[in-house]
């Protein structure tokens, strides 16, 4: 995928006339890190494709797009501050480029929302979280491949510990009243996401 045109358009949408090509290269390098198996450019491209279907619903579409770029920019499986480091990087990059402080703070909040530990507070957060979690509602073979890629990222974690931790995470998603917040994603992916989660939880528990 060629990113230069969309990268320039995104920054223009935030009032920054000159996009930083070095920042784009740095982000591409992050998503190509060898320890990544799911949180890669393939995931990012899928996010962008999903986002285009609901872009018109976003209050600040270019900010959501930049938050997608940064939401997994820092990804180390044993770290607890991936989202914070990613959010800080996004905010600092925006301020350095001349974007307004309100824009920088909104993008920071968007990236932090991808911790998925609280309900979204804005429409843009709802869209971003639904886009990030769309894989949960994918057809079963695609979802199973995602689960295998996540396991590969955690290859250093012993099987019993991984099964226990992964099952807990998936059970938390399944217990939610709604996995997807927007009408578009909820109507299309909610039922299949719940079926995928139940199947994976059963496999982790009984496999």
pLDDT digits (tens, 9 = 90+) for 42-98: 999 999 999 999 999 999 999 999 999 999 999 999 899 999 999 999 999 999 999
Residue 172 confidence (pLDDT)? 97
Alpha-carbon distance of 11 to 150, in angstroms, equals 31
| Fold assignment, 4-206 | Hypothetical protein af1432 (1.10.3210)
Q: What value does the mean pLDDT take over residues 150-159?
A: 97
Q: What value does the mean pLDDT take over residues 11-39?
A: 97
- Is it the case that residue 178 has pLDDT exceeding 80? yes
Average pLDDT, the chain: 97
DSSP state, residue 137: G
Whether the model pTM is above 0.85 = yes
Q: How many CB atoms lie within 10 A of CB 159?
A: 10
Q: Give percent helix, percent strand, percent coil of the chain, each to the nearest 5.
A: 70, 0, 30
Cβ within 8 Å of residue 57, ≥6 positions away: 123, 127, 182, 184
DSSP state, residue 175: T
- Domain locations along the chain: 4-206
Residue 2 confidence (pLDDT)? 82
- Looking at the chain, the whole-number percentage of residues with pLDDT higher than 90 is 98
At 206, the pLDDT band (50, 70, 90 cuts) reads: confident
Indicate the angle between helix axes 140-153 and 159-174, nearest 10 degrees.
130
Please give the structure tokens belonging to residue 49: 């494709």
- Looking at the chain, the whole-number percentage of residues with pLDDT higher than 70 is 99
């Amino acid at each position: 995928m060629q990113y230069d045109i969309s990268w320039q358009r995104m920054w223009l949408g935030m009032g920054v006339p000159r996009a930083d090509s070095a920042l784009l290269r740095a982000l591409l390098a992050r998503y190509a890190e060898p320890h990544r198996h799911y949180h890669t450019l393939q995931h990012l491209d899928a996010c962008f494709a999903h986002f285009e279907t609901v872009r018109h619903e976003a209050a600040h579409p270019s900010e959501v797009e930049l938050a997608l770029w940064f939401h997994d920019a820092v990804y180390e499986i044993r770290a607890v501050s991936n989202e914070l480091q990613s959010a800080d990087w996004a905010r600092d990059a925006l301020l350095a480029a001349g974007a307004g402080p309100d824009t920088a703070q909104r993008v920071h909040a968007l990236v932090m929302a991808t911790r998925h530990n609280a309900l979204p507070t804005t429409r843009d957060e709802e869209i971003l979280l639904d886009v990030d979690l769309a894989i949960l509602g994918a057809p079963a073979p695609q979802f199973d491949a995602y689960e295998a890629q996540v396991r590969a990222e955690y290859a250093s974690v012993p099987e019993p510990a991984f099964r226990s931790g992964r099952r807990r995470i998936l059970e938390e998603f399944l217990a939610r009243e709604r996995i997807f917040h927007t009408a578009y994603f909820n109507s299309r992916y909610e039922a299949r996401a719940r079926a995928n989660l139940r199947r994976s939880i059963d496999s982790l528990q009984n496999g």
